[in-house]
């Protein structure tokens, strides 16, 4: 009989992780990295086909995954995503709040930004985090095991962001929200942290920048390249793992030195 491999220092074997926006970009990178660490992954996304494709790719590699179609800006969808995860896996250990980004095209200078754009951007980047964290915490109140929430922020929350004021303000707010959630959820054995990436090579980034522009931006990053989604996924896994068991309420910048070089 073949002996089982010893557990890794990450301690993520058989843990259940829910990843919002898990079908593309950073969320996709997180899904693959958690699966590599032995976690069971619930991929939550608005597009059912892409979520199913990510889940199938994990299962094809011998992992365990579930695709859930949900729009986390809708409270009933958030509740259903939690219920489906619990029903399928029988548990819930980790939440990755990855949904976010720009809401529509940037609206130019701060004085030109309309209130609707502000509201949509705050809803996408802050309200979804609160709603998903509430649902996750409530589902775990009676559990006697450790849990973790990892939010995906941005270096835009730490520097002036001309043309992206609503997005930068929302990501700065996420830093504060992370600290408060960490204090309030500590009695329930839930740690809360945030990863703040710099530029990441995703479809959404390539919608704004062509290859020449991407190459020029890469030259400005001390690490010499733009991050790949799996680079950020590894950092998210770290903060969710046993290696970060004594870390909560923190925001870890993962940008290859981009923020340092910018000012």
Which long-range contacts does 224-228 make (Cβ < 8 Å, 24+ apart)?
Answer: 224/256, 225/256, 226/199, 226/200, 226/201, 227/197, 227/198, 227/199, 227/200, 227/201, 227/254, 227/255, 227/256, 228/29, 228/200, 228/201
Active site residue 167: yes
Report residue 92 CA to chain centroid gap: 16
Question: Cα separation of 127 and 152, whole Å?
Answer: 13
Question: Cα separation of 94 and 83, whole Å?
Answer: 14
Q: Which residues does 13 contact at the CB level (< 8 Å), separation at least 6? A: 7, 37, 38, 39
The SS3 of residue 17 is strand
Angstrom CA distances, 166 to 122, 155, 244, stand at 7, 14, 31
Question: Which tokens belong to 224?
Answer: 């010499």
Nearest to 78 by CA among 21, 40, 23: 21
Which residue of the set 167, 240, 241, 248 is catalytic? 167
Q: How many other CB atoms are there within 10 angstroms of residue 224's CB atom?
A: 9
Q: So which residues are the catalytic ones?
A: 167
């Amino acid at each position: 009989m073949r002996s089982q491999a010893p557990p890794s220092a990450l301690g993520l074997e058989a843990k259940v992780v829910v990843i919002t926006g898990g079908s593309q970009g950073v969320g996709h990178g997180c899904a693959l990295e958690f699966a590599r660490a032995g976690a069971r992954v619930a991929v939550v996304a608005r597009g059912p086909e892409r979520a199913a494709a990510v889940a199938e790719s994990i299962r094809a590699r011998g992992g365990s995954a579930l695709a859930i179609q949900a729009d986390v800006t809708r409270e009933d969808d958030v509740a259903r995503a939690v219920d489906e995860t619990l029903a399928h896996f029988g548990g819930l250990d980790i939440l990755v709040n990855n949904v976010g980004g720009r809401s529509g095209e940037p609206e130019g200078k701060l004085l030109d930004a309309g209130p609707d754009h502000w509201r949509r951007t705050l809803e996408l980047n802050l309200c979804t985090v609160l709603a998903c964290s509430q649902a996750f915490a409530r589902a775990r109140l009676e559990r006697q095991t450790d849990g973790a929430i990892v939010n995906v922020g941005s270096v835009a929350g730490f520097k002036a962001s001309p043309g992206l004021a609503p997005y930068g303000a929302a990501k700065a707010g996420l830093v504060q929200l992370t600290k408060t959630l960490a204090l309030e959820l500590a009695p329930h054995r839930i740690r809360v942290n945030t990863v703040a990436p710099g530029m990441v090579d995703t479809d959404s980034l390539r919608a704004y920048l062509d290859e020449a522009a991407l190459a020029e931006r890469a030259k400005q990053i001390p690490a010499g390249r733009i991050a790949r989604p799996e680079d950020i996924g590894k950092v998210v896994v770290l903060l969710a793992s046993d290696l970060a068991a004594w870390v909560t309420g923190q925001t870890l910048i993962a940008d290859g030195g981009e923020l340092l070089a910018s000012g």
